[in-house]
């Protein structure tokens, strides 16, 4: 009998232990907006817990008895409560969190592919909110990004802290993404800013410095992540009507063909977002027509985009599927070089332009599943097609097939582990411009982010394999910054690493340091382009090698508060080095026959370079007394040189005079301030650059007036923009904007005169 009772007793005892489990569940939402909060933390007894899913719900298993439960999220005040729960009970608690006035409330995802407070990231980041884009009536994201401290966009090419120069329409060291997926074309490897949907902008996040470990090849100089919006709990509709007129340049002779009619532009943006039960729908569009301030440089575009998402309930809660799509048709004329620096500075050389029609379309399906144990699986894809047609026999079709699997696990200890794999297949079909080429890029990546009370550490690594046609990239692998001896020769997989640390020094003071490696494969355009445009002959270079490098920085972010106004002051020192840097370089590359005698440009590995400097910015928003004040201010200084410059070798054909890297500004200042009182708001923007010290001397020798113009305008310049708006109704706002209010004559790269003063109106309707 005893032998029978003993196992029975053990069984009952075991079952009683198993039966001591209890459960807590509920939903966490924002007290002000009533929106559910994704990723909010639920911490039980200061040790274990969970986070809310995509619908703001949480579910956690614990033991019976009394427990301390803390509910917290970035931007919100924590809520602490005591609970007493019995065995097998399920306690339901819907929690409402109140915003924390002590925090600026900026949350970013690009630094680690998960939500973090801006003050706690380990890299330098800047954030643009959609309000700035709307208030300035910006119709191309290029103009918005150019307002970011430390960032310059030179004729469409993004340059962060002097990491890039100017190589028209070919290659980019800055990875431009939409919703964390690359938006660079398969042929030129560049971005067309007008393709990005201004009407559907949630936030723009800019990472300064090498980010290849997490984002891949083209992120060696930084990342610009354009985040689109999903529907919130309340339906939202917004329509922008806008129009503007160009005024005569400071020299009337520059635009003598205008006659009595000034050129104008106008358009409309549309956006609607709505939840229909578990179905989220966003649809947007843009119509735009621009006469252009330069002769024949007109532009017309039509864009439509949508975000669709379905969120499952019941047993499949945490699963969501959807598709995002965007398409645009653009028609216009392409200005590259002028006739001369006087009456012909706004007229193309040769008297005519290349006229183009471009179609761009991307379709991005995705599926995501967030488990109850804080794990998330995401599978995303992108088909991105670019079709270029023109009147110069330089047509091309380029397709990108991109897929990415990502796994992310958030542990109760404060550790976040992210890992994934990417497969990218590109096809380029072109006639004499590029030819036909196929490329494959495969990579795997991983990153861990660990947060203690005051310390955050980030470590990441990535391995990439690249193949163009039948040629595989083979690179020597070195140990971090030591390039004296490779640890692996001619490896087909290129590894890159990054590390960062952030320490909460004082109440509102955060110190950080980071190091990241970069690696960039040449684009099809850089290797195979053969064309002539605007009097420039461009030659292919199929022996072009990839470029590699690293960047490091140390910085401090100081929180500021004045009444209800909150902000951050940030200062960082940075040091970047590149090996085998690629730049288009002037020289003799073709047969020595007239009329060009084989002279032109070719993408070359110019050697080793170093860029160092300092970056300062101030970001803030809130009330000072009765006035709403928002600001974004910054100053950047760079020292960018070629470290192995050889005058006899590198000044061939007098293409460069010294070791300064070309097409960079040593000093750059940016600023935007918005003031609001009741129904009236006003704002002022400024962009100031020092003189561009070094350009290809070819432009000064072979194009009339370039040398004289640069000699006359050698002190740098600035542009001020002003805006004034009035809230006509709770649903309608009228704005008046003056861009380049002092009508400054400013040139970017040689022969690229910026727009004269523009008067514009905008009517914004929201309901």
The 3-state secondary structure of 364-411 reads EEEEEEECCCCEEEEEEEEEEEEEEEECCCCCEEEEEEEEEEEEEEEC
Q: Name the most confidently modeled range: 223-232, 289-298, 692-701.
A: 289-298
Instruction: State residue 147's pLDDT score.
Output: 92
**Residues 211-222: what's their mean pLDDT?**
82
Mean pLDDT in residue range 671-689: 96
Residue 564 has pLDDT above 80, yes or no: yes
The pLDDT of residue 100 is 65
Lowest average pLDDT, out of 132-146, 175-189, 649-663, goes to 649-663
Residue 288 CB partners (closer than 8 Å, separation 6+): 139, 194, 265, 266, 267, 299, 300, 301, 302
The predicted pLDDT at position 170 comes to 67
For the residues 116-124, what does the mean pLDDT come to? 85
pLDDT at 27: 86
pLDDT at 105: 58
pLDDT band at 9 (very low <50, low <70, confident <90, very high): very low
pLDDT recorded at residue 735:
97
Region 534-554 average pLDDT = 87
Whether the predicted pLDDT of 317 surpasses 70: yes
Give the model's confidence band at 619: pLDDT under 50 very low, under 70 low, under 90 confident, else very high.
very high
**587's tokens:** 């020289």
> According to the model, what pLDDT value does residue 54 have?
62
pLDDT at 19: 47
Write down the pLDDT at residue 648. Answer: 57
Q: For residue 143, name the pLDDT band (cuts at 50, 70, 90).
A: very high
The pLDDT tens digits for 392-417 are 777 899 999 999 999 999 887 889 99
CB 105 within 8 A of CB 568: no
Predicted confidence (pLDDT) at residue 6 exceeds the cutoff of 70: no
Kindly report, residue by residue over 646-672, the tens digit of the pLDDT: 765 555 444 556 789 999 999 999 999
- pLDDT exceeds cutoff 90 at 745: yes
CA–CA separation, 762 and 137 (whole Å): 7
**pLDDT > 70 in the chain, percent:** 90
* Residue found under tokens 């910026």: 754
pLDDT bucket at 11, cuts 50 / 70 / 90: very low
Encoded tokens for 508:
């509102």
16 pLDDT higher than 50: no
Quick one: pLDDT at residue 18? 45
Q: Which residues contact 545 (CB under 8 A, 6 or more apart)?
A: 522, 580, 605
C-alpha 108/C-alpha 100 separation (Å) is: 17
Q: What is the mean pLDDT of the chain?
A: 87
- Bigger pLDDT: 231 or 325? 325
Q: Which domains does the chain have, with CATH numbers?
A: 21-97 (2.60.40.1120), 107-270+357-470+496-766 (2.40.170.20)
Instruction: Output the pLDDT for position 480.
Output: 61
Q: By the 8 A CB rule, do 443 and 421 touch?
A: yes
Predicted pLDDT of residue 241:
97
């Amino acid at each position: 009998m005893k032998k029978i009772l003993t196992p029975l007793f053990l069984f009952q005892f075991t079952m009683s232990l198993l039966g001591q489990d209890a459960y807590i569940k509920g939903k966490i939402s924002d007290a002000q907006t009533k929106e559910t909060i994704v990723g909010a933390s639920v911490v039980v007894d200061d040790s274990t817990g969970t986070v809310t899913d995509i619908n703001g719900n949480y579910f956690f298993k614990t033991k019976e008895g009394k427990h301390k439960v803390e509910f917290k999220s970035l931007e919100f005040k924590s809520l602490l409560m005591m609970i007493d729960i019995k065995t097998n009970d399920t306690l339901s608690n819907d929690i409402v969190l109140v915003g924390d006035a002590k925090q600026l409330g900026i949350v970013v995802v690009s630094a680690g592919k998960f939500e973090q407070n801006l003050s706690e990231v380990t890299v330098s980041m800047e954030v643009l909110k959609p309000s700035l884009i709307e208030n300035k009536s910006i119709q191309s994201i290029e103009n918005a990004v150019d307002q970011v401290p430390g960032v310059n966009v030179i004729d469409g090419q993004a340059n962060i802290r002097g990491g890039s120069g100017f190589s028209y329409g070919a290659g980019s060291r800055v990875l431009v993404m939409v919703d964390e997926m690359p938006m660079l074309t398969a042929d030129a490897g560049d971005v067309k800013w007008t393709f990005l949907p201004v009407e559907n902008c949630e936030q723009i996040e800019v990472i300064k410095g090498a980010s290849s470990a997490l984002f891949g090849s083209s992120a060696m100089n930084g990342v610009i992540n354009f985040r689109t919006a999903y529907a919130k709990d309340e339906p939202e509709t917004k329509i922008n009507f806008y129009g503007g007129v160009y005024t005569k340049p400071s020299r009337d002779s520059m635009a003598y063909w205008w006659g009595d009619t000034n050129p104008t532009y106008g358009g409309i943006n549309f956006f609607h977002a709505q939840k229909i039960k578990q179905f989220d729908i966003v649809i947007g569009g843009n119509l735009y027509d621009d006469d252009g301030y330069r002769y024949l440089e007109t532009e017309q575009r039509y864009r439509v985009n949508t975000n669709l998402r379905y969120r499952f309930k019941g047993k499949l809660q945490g699963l969501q599927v959807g598709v995002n799509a965007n398409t645009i048709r653009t028609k216009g004329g392409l200005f590259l070089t002028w006739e001369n620096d006087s009456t012909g500075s706004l007229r193309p050389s040769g008297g005519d332009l290349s006229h183009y029609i471009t179609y761009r379309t991307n379709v991005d399906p995705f599926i995501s599943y967030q488990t109850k144990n804080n794990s998330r699986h995401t599978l995303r894809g992108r088909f991105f097609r670019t079709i270029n047609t023109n009147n110069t026999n330089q047509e091309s079709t380029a397709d990108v097939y991109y897929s990415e699997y990502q796994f992310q696990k958030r542990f109760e200890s404060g550790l976040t582990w992210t890992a994934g794999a990417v497969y990218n297949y590109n096809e380029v079909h072109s006639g004499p411009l590029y030819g036909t080429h196929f490329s494959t890029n495969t990579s795997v990546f991983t990153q861990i982010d660990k947060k203690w009370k005051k310390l955050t550490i980030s470590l990441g690594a990535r391995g990439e394999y690249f193949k163009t046609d039948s040629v595989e990239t083979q690179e020597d692998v070195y140990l971090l910054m030591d390039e004296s001896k490779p640890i692996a020769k001619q490896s087909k997989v290129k590894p890159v690493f990054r590390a960062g640390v952030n320490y909460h020094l004082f109440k509102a003071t955060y110190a950080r340091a980071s190091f990241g490696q970069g690696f960039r494969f040449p684009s099809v355009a850089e290797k195979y382009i053969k064309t002539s445009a605007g009097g420039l002959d461009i030659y292919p270079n199929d022996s072009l090698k990839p470029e590699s490098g690293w960047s490091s920085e140390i910085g401090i972010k100081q929180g500021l508060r004045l009444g209800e106004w909150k902000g951050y002051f940030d200062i960082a020192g940075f040091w970047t080095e590149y090996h085998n840097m690629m730049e288009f370089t002037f020289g003799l590359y073709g047969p020595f026959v007239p009329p060009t005698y084989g002279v032109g440009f070719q993408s070359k590995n110019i050697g080793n370079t170093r860029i160092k400097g300092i970056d300062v910015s101030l970001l803030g928003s809130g009330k000072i007394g009765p006035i709403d004040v928002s600001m974004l201010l910054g100053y950047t200084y760079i020292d960018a040189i070629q470290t192995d410059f050889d005058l006899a070798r590198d000044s061939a054909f007098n293409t460069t005079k010294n070791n300064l890297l070309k097409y960079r500004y040593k000093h750059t200042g940016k600023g935007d301030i918005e003031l609001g009182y009741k129904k009236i708001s006003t704002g002022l923007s400024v962009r100031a650059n020092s003189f561009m010290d070094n350009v290809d001397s070819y432009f000064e020798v072979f194009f009339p007036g370039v040398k004289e113009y640069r000699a006359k305008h050698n002190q740098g310049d600035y542009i001020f923009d002003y805006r004034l708006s009035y809230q006509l109704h709770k649903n309608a706002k009228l704005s008046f904007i003056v861009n380049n209010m002092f009508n400054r004559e400013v040139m970017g790269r040689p022969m690229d005169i910026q727009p004269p003063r523009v008067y514009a109106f905008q009517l914004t309707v929201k309901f």
